[in-house]
Chains A and B, each alone.
Chain A
Amino acid sequence: MTDTPPDGESPDIDSCVRIGSIVSSNSHLDYVVEVYKERDCDRPPELHEREFGQPVFIKKTVNGTEHAVIGVIYDTQLVDPDQGRTGPRLAQDDQAQFTPGYIEERTTLAGVALLGTAEIAEDGAVQEPTHQMPRWTLEVEDTVFHCPDQVTVSFHTIDEQIQLAYMDRLLDIAGDLGSEVIVALIDRLRGVLPEDDPNHRVLDVVEQNVQWQAREQRGLV
């Protein structure tokens, strides 16, 4: 949560950590991303860089303008094709490195829900964010980048006010964990906003509402 982009202060869209690539989708707004491992790239994401509630983005060039399609990790799943198979262990005590086969195929999948889009300016900053539903389809193997907190804040600041106007769609896609994603997003925003920012109180009210509704739905209150 407190990570800074590798290049220092200003968020540079081009030097962000790659989290993974798209492998499939469940709907227009709901994609499955295979998280990169050691073998897939030079600098695979660290655990906290691909955590639950982490905003991500995918670059798309539309009509000559570079856009960032912003999303959020709302779910993760582990896939182990070997699970349930009890074959002979090939590695011996003295030969720990003999690991052929399925071990490398174990993967971590992350569910990404799309939130909105923003334009990427010449200098690599995001501008003109919109929380409307992205109309463009992403492709398989599109790279998903870690979205630095500054970009997250810029994406959420519309008319100098923090907005989460995608919330109803996100709650719908994220399902059971919807309120938790929102709370995670709000936490992240809160951490970046200055202490005396008036948006804190608004975020409080929104968080309260989401949590209360979730508790009501789950039969707690």
Chain B
Amino acid sequence: MADRSNVVGTVAGPGDDPNEFVFVTPSDKSIKTGEFITYTVSVEGEPRSVFARVTNRELIRGLPEGFLADPEVGPETVAATLGVPTDDTELYQLTATVIGYYDTNMTTFANPRQLPDPGTPLSIAPHQQLETVLPNLGCETDSTDITTLDGVAHIGWLLNRPAEATNLHIPIEEFASTHLAILASTGSGKSYTASVLIEEMMRPSSRASLLVFDPHGEYDTLAEMQGEEAFQGEDGYEPEIEYYDPERLRVRISELEIGDVMAILDNPSNRMQERLSTAWQAMQRQESRTWGIDELIGEMERIYGDDDASVGALEWRLRRSIERNDLFHPEENVPLDEIVDPGQCTVLQMDTLDRRDQQLITTVLLRRMYRERLDDVRDRDSDIEHPIFALFEEGHRFAPASGEAPSLGIMRTITSEGRKFGFGLGIISQRPSKIDQDVLSQCGTQISMQIKNPNDQDAIKNSVEAAGEDVLRELPGLTPGQAVVSGDAMNTPALIQVRQRRTPHGAGSRPVIEEWREAYDERQREPTQSESADFGEGDSTGVQSLD
């Protein structure tokens, strides 16, 4: 430790917490809160770099507040008048929490359970070392060139470092199998971050099989990945981006479960429910999977007779809710082998469907895919013979914390069991408090962005195990594009700046003022025919009359 050129501070002593220590730096070594610093300790005879995170920064020596009495007189002027030196006067005391040293056997952090001695020199943790040890990459040394690794997603760089200095690559396998949650308030970059991840997953080194449930049509720019050089593999691979617009989304009626049907009917009476479930079960037992409402009603009439009043009422309800809805079809179905394939990202655009239909199509698709994955793992015939990852924009619609949603059950099943069957879910939402807690708590990796609502912060605190106090404290202060990554994909949570997308972003806010003005100009150009009846609008004469 003879060379102290990269030393930024010196340990002063232990802090309040058992894992905390305080250190002192002069003002020119500006260390930000959240910065990773490192010191060396000897663990079992070997020197180890222990990492610590700076959590607080306090001024312990500086000019007195009295010098600030007159806003027009700078404190350094007052100090100069009194002969007080102002260069390097400020001393900061920083608090840091020990994360641990990187245990190469366990490939994660181990706590040395020993605070640094007073006087221990501290330095900023080197970029490459952090790139290796922060994400859960399982590297065998504590400093690896992670750009050579396969199956990692470059999502951004550490916030406290210069742009692209310390890049964070998270293991795709980890979040794709133990589920992912992207939580952020509107406009802070959720779908942007999701698109970055999609881009990474579609690169030649990963070739994921992705399905995006997009209730707003925000992901229509992903197609530009096709033809981009960065996404082309040496073997001719190119990601395939498939869009399914609402016209192509179909639910085969026989795929619905009795609970789904009940949910879409208007207040069926007990008697009706009984009639319907008996007939439904009878139909499900049939060989044919392509039956419609006519066949179902025929079955009910066969069991209960032609003149049963409840059957009549049910018929009306079924025809109104199912038959007249284009989503449901006796035969057509979304073909699973078309929507999931390695190297293919399918975007299910559901922006014109109402919420109930969105939930139903999601339910049915998830159920079918889960069944196929189950069959595949159990060595039965299956349409999907590879793991899949489904991303849900507006995740609270599909797994709401309150209220009924037919999709909730299958979402819970997949988040708790999906890992075994290679079925990962990604939940994107701006209202963590409105997501079902069981679903949210099973999302092993979290990317949390700016969240100010206290209810939503509580929801994260209650359901996200990895979210420590220091992570939660950061959430209100983040700006768009900044995120905290925590959970299974990370060895320790980190604050990052999400990287630029390679494809343009499609979900930004609309330029409202510009559109208003354009619309106004448009109207000005139209011939005004009803001028005499135009009270108070003044759209053709108002401006001129002012001259």
- Binding stretch for chain B, among A71-79, A82-90, A201-209: A201-209
| With A201-B72, A201-B73: A212-B81 Cβ-Cβ less than 8 Å | no
Q: Which 8 A-B pairs have the closest CB atoms?
A: A165-B83, A209-B66, A205-B69, A201-B73, A205-B70, A205-B78, A167-B82, A202-B73
**Is there contact, CB below 8 Å, between A164 and B70?**
no
| With A201-B72, A202-B73, A205-B73: A163-B81 Cβ-Cβ less than 8 Å | yes
Our pick among A166, A168, A202, A212 for the contact of B78 (Cβ within 8 Å) is A202
B269 at the interface (CB under 8 A from A): no
| A198-220 vs B, Cβ < 8 Å mask (1 yes, 0 no) | 01011111101100110000000
B77 at the interface (CB under 8 A from A): yes
**Is there contact, CB below 8 Å, between A161 and B73?**
no
Task: Tally B residues with Cβ within 8 Å of A.
Answer: 13
Of the listed residues B64, B70, B80, B83, the one surrounded by the most CB atoms of chain A closer than 10 A to its CB is: B83
A131 at the interface (CB under 8 A from B): yes
**Is there contact, CB below 8 Å, between B81 and A164?**
yes
Q: Which residues of A contact B83 (CB under 8 A)?
A: 131, 163-168
Interface residues of B in 40-64 (CB under 8 A from A): 64
**Is there contact, CB below 8 Å, between B67 and A205?**
yes
Q: Which residues of B contact A204 (CB under 8 A)?
A: 69-70, 73
How far is it, in angstroms, between the C-alpha of A206 and the C-alpha of B82 when the chains are bound? 8
**Is there contact, CB below 8 Å, between B82 and A164?**
yes
Beyond contacts A163-B80, A199-B81: 7 other A-B pairs, Cβ-Cβ < 8 A, are A161-B80, A162-B81, A163-B81, A164-B82, A205-B67, A208-B66, A209-B69
| A147-170 vs B, Cβ < 8 Å mask (1 yes, 0 no) | 000000000000001111111100
A selection of 24 A-B contacts at a CB cut-off of 8 Å is A163-B80, A163-B82, A163-B83, A164-B81, A164-B82, A164-B83, A165-B81, A165-B82, A165-B83, A166-B83, A167-B82, A167-B83, A168-B83, A201-B70, A201-B73, A205-B66, A205-B73, A205-B78, A206-B78, A206-B82, A209-B64, A209-B66, A209-B69, A213-B66
Our pick among B64, B66, B67, B81 for the contact of A161 (Cβ within 8 Å) is B81
Q: Which residues of A contact B77 (CB under 8 A)?
A: 161, 202
Q: Which residues of A contact B69 (CB under 8 A)?
A: 204-205, 208-209
| B59-102 vs A, Cβ < 8 Å mask (1 yes, 0 no) | 00000101101101100011011110000000000000000000
CB A19 to nearest CB in B, in angstroms, measures 26
Of the listed residues B73, B78, B82, the one surrounded by the most CB atoms of chain A closer than 10 A to its CB is: B82
How far is it, in angstroms, between the C-alpha of A194 and the C-alpha of B82 when the chains are bound? 21
Main secondary structure of the interface of A (DSSP, over half): helix
Q: Which residues of B contact A165 (CB under 8 A)?
A: 81-83
Interface residues of A in 111-140 (CB under 8 A from B): 131
Q: Which residues of A contact B70 (CB under 8 A)?
A: 201-202, 204-205
| A5-29 vs B, Cβ < 8 Å mask (1 yes, 0 no) | 0000000000000000000000000
Our pick among B66, B72, B73, B82 for the contact of A212 (Cβ within 8 Å) is B66
Name the CB-closest residue of B to A208.
Answer: B69
CB B70 to nearest CB in A, in angstroms, measures 5
How far is it, in angstroms, between the C-alpha of A213 and the C-alpha of B83 when the chains are bound? 18
How far is it, in angstroms, between the C-alpha of A181 and the C-alpha of B67 when the chains are bound? 20
| B161-202 vs A, Cβ < 8 Å mask (1 yes, 0 no) | 000000000000000000000000000000000000000000
How far is it, in angstroms, between the C-alpha of A190 and the C-alpha of B52 when the chains are bound? 54
**Is there contact, CB below 8 Å, between B66 and A202?**
no
Name the CB-closest residue of A to B82.
Answer: A167
Name the CB-closest residue of B to A132.
Answer: B83
Q: Which residues of B contact A201 (CB under 8 A)?
A: 70, 72-73
How far is it, in angstroms, between the C-alpha of A206 and the C-alpha of B69 when the chains are bound? 9
Of the listed residues B64, B69, B72, the one surrounded by the most CB atoms of chain A closer than 10 A to its CB is: B69
CB B86 to nearest CB in A, in angstroms, measures 12
Interface residues of A in 167-201 (CB under 8 A from B): 167-168, 199, 201
**Is there contact, CB below 8 Å, between B81 and A206?**
yes
Q: Which residues of B contact A205 (CB under 8 A)?
A: 66-67, 69-70, 73, 78
How far is it, in angstroms, between the C-alpha of A165 and the C-alpha of B79 when the chains are bound? 9
Q: Which residues of A contact B67 (CB under 8 A)?
A: 205, 209
How far is it, in angstroms, between the C-alpha of A165 and the C-alpha of B73 when the chains are bound? 17
CB A123 to nearest CB in B, in angstroms, measures 28
Q: Which residues of B contact A213 (CB under 8 A)?
A: 66
CB B159 to nearest CB in A, in angstroms, measures 38
CB A214 to nearest CB in B, in angstroms, measures 12
How far is it, in angstroms, between the C-alpha of A34 and the C-alpha of B83 when the chains are bound? 31
CB B173 to nearest CB in A, in angstroms, measures 62
Q: Which residues of B contact A161 (CB under 8 A)?
A: 77, 80-81
How far is it, in angstroms, between the C-alpha of A201 and the C-alpha of B72 when the chains are bound? 8
Q: Which residues of B contact A164 (CB under 8 A)?
A: 81-83
CB B49 to nearest CB in A, in angstroms, measures 44
Q: Which residues of A contact B66 (CB under 8 A)?
A: 205, 208-209, 212-213
How far is it, in angstroms, between the C-alpha of A131 and the C-alpha of B72 when the chains are bound? 26
How far is it, in angstroms, between the C-alpha of A201 and the C-alpha of B64 when the chains are bound? 17
Q: Which residues of A contact B72 (CB under 8 A)?
A: 201
Name the CB-closest residue of A to B85.
Answer: A165
How far is it, in angstroms, between the C-alpha of A142 and the C-alpha of B67 when the chains are bound? 39
